[in-house]
Structure 1
Amino acid sequence: MFDFLKRGRLIRRGLASRKIRRRRARSELARNLEYAPYMKALIFVVFAGGLAFLVFSGQQPEPTKNFVIALLVLATAITQLWINQPKTFSQSSRILLVFGVILAQLTVTKLLLVICSSGNYQFLKPEMGGLITPYAFAPLVLSVLLGRHHGLYAAFFVSLWSSILFGPIDAPLLVTSLISGFTAVSLTLQVRRRSKLIRAGIGVGLAIWLLSLTFGLIGPINWLFPTANDWGMIGLQSALAVGNGILTATLVGGALPILEQLFQITTDISWLEASDLNHPLLRRMTIEAPGTYHHSLVVANLAEAAAEAIGANATLCRVCSYFHDVGKLVKPEYFTENMSFERNPHDDLAPTMSVLIIIAHVKEGVDLALKYKLNQRIIDIIQEHHGTSVVRYFYQRALQQHEDARAGGKIMKLREDDIPDVREESFRYSGPKPQTKESAIVSLADTVESASRSLEKPTPQKIESLVNELIEERITDRQLDDCDLTLGELKIIAERFRFTLLMMLHSRIAYPKHGQKTPKPREDTLRPDVMAATRRPPTAPPVSAA
């Protein structure tokens, strides 16, 4: 309660800083609600109530029977989510998103079908209900926000529920909804631009049109006597079917930013928008810490290439790599890539003080990220990209100074207890360790890029040895224990790092000056073993990552 008084006394004595770091506002109540079992139960009960309202509203035969079927489907849906998507099932917000979007589609479907069957609108005939139903809304939303597995989940169960909203199971509606949903998911596996949503909508619209032709919702069409057909009505029905998919995709594109904000989800579209290098922090870095800026760009290339190779989120890795070292903006001159050639400021400091400055860039980075309201995933990777690793250089320097002090103490007849020990914990980052694949990839890319700068005359063998050594060191130090990278994936990551570094660190030929003869190529540059090592691997990164 009186911590601020103690802090004030420490500040006056010079034992504490006046700086107050920003903290992430985390409500304990919100966290408890997120993982509380009763919240999940409440969501399922509300969803069941929504199903009851949709089934019993309107005139339809045997509503009780249909409601029992709907409840059985709900039990199956809950079980499937629990078994196949345990991470989603553990979070109330994700459950609310999944079942909320499904219920929204079911409500709109019921409303449109009721309006069309009522006959109150001359334009909307009963057979048009199947043409304007938004079959792909929930699959599109969940596929883009949570991934294709959730999209397929929504397509399957929303189709089952939709088919019983009007009595007996409507087979054409069921099949059309299933195929339209699966089409939507297959066309949105990687959505990095909103224009791809429109293309997916066109694909869904064409699928609805073909299925409507198959089930006779468009027409009737007399293929033997084309002149007897009402082509105006057929054209209108076809336009409604295709426009259905396009309009649904447009609505999804408009709803995505709102849903991302509400449920704290970042899609590839938003990550791509966040990769703009004109962000104020990155512009500051180009001026105040150009070495760190260049380092971040190279780390981004390495991380993106590795992430694409193992199927992780490559765009997320690129964006987070841009910002992972923003904390160095506070004291840029204390980091190697920004040092001037005249002096090294660490020469005037004890290793214990130097390591405090180096380690502090993580906390400073989090502070700046909170100030500029960066994405939570970026903040997490800023915190995790060094894990709990040791600042090896200053630790070794401290050990050497300790040995020198002990040797000098013997001459001066000092007791060994008077010479403080060097504790490794004092030279470790505070963590946490990388928690996700993307965080681990950025961490490894950061380490590899920094170490590669110290290579003299880099060759394929030196680069490969360096990459393998650094990854093995991280494994031995248990820095990758909390993420779910496998040894096979680490091998692929190492191969991508090796190839990308090889392309970046290759030597160039010496261009002759005007009037000077072109030098002959050295024989050792054509050695078959070296050339073999530079061949493009089977899983080579894209050009943008090299």
Structure 2
Amino acid sequence: MARSLDSFYRSQSLIYKYVLHLVTVAAIVFFFPRGGQFKYEFQKGKPWQYENLYAPFDFSINKSAEELEREREEIRAQQIPYYRFDTQIEQQVYQEFDRSFSEYFNPQEFDTRSWNQLRQRGLALLDSLYVNGIWDGNAPPNTDRIYLVRDNEASGMDADRLLRMGDINSWLRQELRAGYASFTNRYQDLFFRVVQPNVSRDEALTARELEEELSRISLTRGNVDEGALVIARGEVVEAENFNILQSLSGEYESELWSENNQYLILGGYTILVALVLLMLLLFLKKYRPQVYQNNVKLTFIFVNILIMVFLTNLVIKYDDAYVFVVPLCVLPLILKTFFDARLGLFVHVLTVLILGFVVPNSFEYIFLQIMAGIVTILTVSELYKRANLFISVGQITLIYILGYFAFHIIHEGNIQNVVWVNFGFFLLNGMLTLFVQPLIYIYEKIFGMVSDVSLLELSDTNSKLLKELSTKAPGTFNHSLQVANLAEAAANEIGANAMLTRVGALYHDVGKMNNPTYFTENQITNINPHDELDPQESARIILSHVIEGIELARKYKIPDRVIDFIRTHHGTTMVYYFYKKAKEMQGEEVEEKKFRYPGPIPFSRETAILMMADSVEAASKSLVNPSYTIIEEFVDKIVGGQVQAGQFINADITFREIETVKKVLKQRLTNIYHLRVEYPE
């Protein structure tokens, strides 16, 4: 039982990778749309590359989006609007007329018969006005015919039979010419007071009727019978047969997805996605073993793939026209920031291949996204410089626009039908890509990783830890600055991460703050505290600065990538001075382990560069009257000893790169110790 538990404990990292792989595959397949895949790939304007295709079953030909939109526009243009007649307003007008008539036609001016005639004439005019109603003047009819709804019954009528308020005076003059012309002004004043519009456009009913009409549009036109020839081999896929092929593809996918075979289709998706992610794991295991062994970094990569798949599927389910709004180039940007360009591009390509299952026009999508990913990898450098990110995003957006424009010309053969709004989607994609900066900060906090932006902040010598180092151990601080300059120059020369190397060099000796006077660079008098200690105790103090440096760095929340430099900058080398001193005092009984750093040895080019620069800079203080020849032999001896001791066997650094580093160190030390002209007194 104990042996089984021990075996499980040792294998837990591998088990975690299996679980991560399975969970990611399951999540991606879950996001996939429920439907089969048409087994033929076709593009408009390209010849049909397969054998003659015959209809496997009866299916309807779907109308194109342009045809459907044309029909909708025709219905909208021909729609007859609805207007509602308000009978209550009509009653109110008649009541107000009865109350106000005597004010404008005083009964004392007329005999009873004449007064009644004038009143009846006014009522007749109101009847004429309200026989069809008076329009309120809003939302004018845009057709010759309208539907007038009176008492919940709609009847058609000519729109010009509706009278507007502004036309009442001229209508009254026309109606009163025969026999009542002298009373025109009175009638106009009276009607101005009492008449109110009672016909208004019923927007809700009009919209509802329009929706009903639009819903009656048939989505198909014609049928293709089973066994009929759909397209012949070599025939160019043009507008008509392209539409037929799309109809067959949609019908095929819906027919294929049924309860009987849905699990088979899901199984096929699962196998393909599992293969893609397996390729990623194999790549990491072979070419990026440090990332493969680190489950946090592995999880980080898989989570980013999942996020991109989820966002793309979400957009497709809403409207696949917006698929290029998803800022997929954020993925290689982030991975290049935290890892390297090759890994970023590899993961980007695999993610695009996965998305090829679900996006429309998969070939066009895959081509554009891979091109954009390559441009991202090639152009983005020093992301902590804001201008670089804006320039890179501009280039990515340009690639999208040019690629889409080229595909449109290939498919359509002209530029007349370009959907210009798609260019807006590409611009929106570019703006969303700029969100990578705050996203990097979020990832740093969640996964404990470090980017060049954080490294730039850590390189500030006014940071709390470095300021404390400069106060407590000024000699060590100056030594760290010199080492940082040497290491940065060497890293630049061989293409390593210069920013990371510089930051690692600045912090590599922070452990010396606890006992600064026990290190020669901090001794300002001739008194050496080691003279009063035995060699083993002196060696213990010297060796402890590595462990104490790691503890201090963790206390100040320095990232692990920087702590790696503290841990490895002496590798497994020996404190030879005190070892030799102990041997002289104790003979052959000295335990070598007590005088050797615990390691580990450098495991990257950057940590290897720091070990070389640190040893060379520290030892260079002992040179007397240095010349270029002396410096050259001195550097060769120190670095050669480290190589001979196997300190760089785990670092991804070649002999050629080591020689380049040595060359840079020689040049820099020569510049530091160059001879000056002796000035006369």
Same fold at TM > 0.5: yes
State how far apart, in whole Å, the 2-side matches of 1:425 and 1:158 are.
49
Change in CA separation of 1:257 and 1:34 when aligned onto 2, cut-off 3 Å = farther
In the alignment, the residues of structure 1 paired with residue 540 and residue 618 of structure 2 have an alpha-carbon distance, to the nearest angstrom, of 19
The 5 A counterparts of 1:21-170 are 36-57=13-34, 61=253, 62=256, 70-86=269-285, 87=289, 88-116=291-319, 128-166=321-359, 170=362
Alignment map for 1:403-422 (pairs within 5 Å): 421-422=589-590
- Provide Cα deviations, 1:220-265, integer angstroms capped at 9, x if missing partner: 99768xxxx89xx73x542331231231x22222211222233332
- DSSP 3-state at the match of 2:319: helix
Distance 1:285 1:137 in 2: 38
Kindly provide the amino acid, as one letter, of the partner of residue 173 in structure 1: Y
User: Do the aligned partners of residues 291 and 401 (structure 1) sit closer, same or farther apart at CA in structure 2, a change above 3 Å counting?
Assistant: same
Q: Equivalent residues in 2 for 1:99-498 (5 A)?
A: 99-116=302-319, 128-166=321-359, 170-216=362-408, 234=420, 236-247=421-432, 249-402=433-586, 421-498=589-666
In 2, distance between residues paired with 1:33 and 1:132? Answer: 45
1:414-466 deviation per Cα after TM superposition (whole angstroms, max 9, x unaligned): xxxxxx93333332223333333322221221110011111111111101100
The whole-number CA distance in structure 2 between the counterparts of 1:208 and 1:436 is 36
Q: Call closer, same or farther: CA 1:135–1:218 in 2, change over 3 Å.
A: farther
Which stretches in structure 1 are left out of the alignment for 5+ residues? 1-27, 118-127, 404-419, 514-546
| Secondary structure of 2:551's aligned partner | helix
Matched residues in 2 for 1:69 and 1:245: separation? 34
The alpha-carbon deviation at position 152 of structure 1 amounts to 1.5
Q: Distance in 2 between matches of 1:217 and 1:223?
A: 6
Deviation, 1:84, is 2.4
- The 2-side partners of 1:250 and 1:34 are apart by 41
CA distance in 1 between counterparts of 2:11 and 2:462 reads 35
CA gap of 1:217–1:442, structure 2 versus 1, over 3 A, is same
Taking structure 2 as the reference length, the TM-score comes to: 0.60
TM-score by length of structure 1 reads 0.74
Q: Deviations over 1:371-404 (max 9, x none)?
A: 212111232322222222222222233333447x
CA distance in 2, matches of 1:430, 1:48: 41
Query: How far, CA to CA, are the matches of 1:91 and 1:360 in structure 2?
Result: 27
Contact 2:484-2:502 within 8 A present in 1 as well:
yes
Q: Give, in angstroms, the shift of residue 33 of structure 1.
A: 10
The residue number in structure 1 matching 2:187 is: none
Change beyond 3 A, Cα 1:40–1:488: same
Q: Which has the higher contact order (CA 8 A, sep 6+)?
A: 2
Letter in 2 for 1:48: V
For 1:253 and 1:217, how far apart are their aligned partners in 2?
Answer: 36
Gaps of 5+ in 2: 37-249
Question: SS at 1:399's partner residue?
Answer: helix
Question: How far 1:154 moved relative to its partner?
Answer: 2.7
Q: What's the CA shift for 1:32?
A: 5.9
Contact 2:490 2:609 in 1 (8 A): yes
**What SS does structure 2 have at the residue aligned with 1:36?**
helix
Cα offset, 1:475, TM superposition: 2.6
* Cα distance in structure 1, aligned partners of 2:17 and 2:584: 58
Distance 1:422 1:131 in 2: 69
Count of aligned pairs between the two proteins: 450
Match of 2:122 in 1: none
Check 1:77–1:360 CA distance in 2 against 1; reply closer, same or farther (3 A cut). Answer: same
Deviations 1:471-512 (A, max 9, x none): 122233333344343322222221111111111221222334
Indicate the SS of the match to 1:435. Answer: coil
Within 2, Cα distance between the matches of 1:223 and 1:74? Answer: 38
Which one has the bigger strand percentage? 2
Rate the CA distance shift 1:317–1:129 in 2: closer, same or farther, 3 A.
same
> Aligned partner of 1:257: which letter?
Y
Match of 1:409 in 2: none
What amino acid sits opposite 2:630 in the alignment?
K
Q: Following the alignment from structure 2 to structure 1, what is the Cα–Cα distance between the partners of residues 340 and 647?
A: 28
* 1:199 aligned partner, one-letter code: I
What is the letter of the counterpart of residue 74 of structure 1? V
Question: Which one-letter code corresponds to 1:172 in the other structure?
Answer: E
The C-alpha deviation readout for 1:317-363, integer Å capped at 9, x for no partner, is 11111111111111211211111234222233332332222222222
Partner of 1:510: 678
3-state DSSP class of the match of 2:427? helix
Structure with the greater alpha carbon radius of gyration: 2
Question: Which amino acid letter does the alignment assign opposite residue 422 of structure 1?
Answer: V
C-alpha RMSD of matched pairs (Å): 3.2
In structure 2, do the counterparts of structure 1 residues 101 and 34 end up closer, same or farther at CA, with 3 Å as the change threshold? farther
- Corresponding residue SS for 1:273: helix
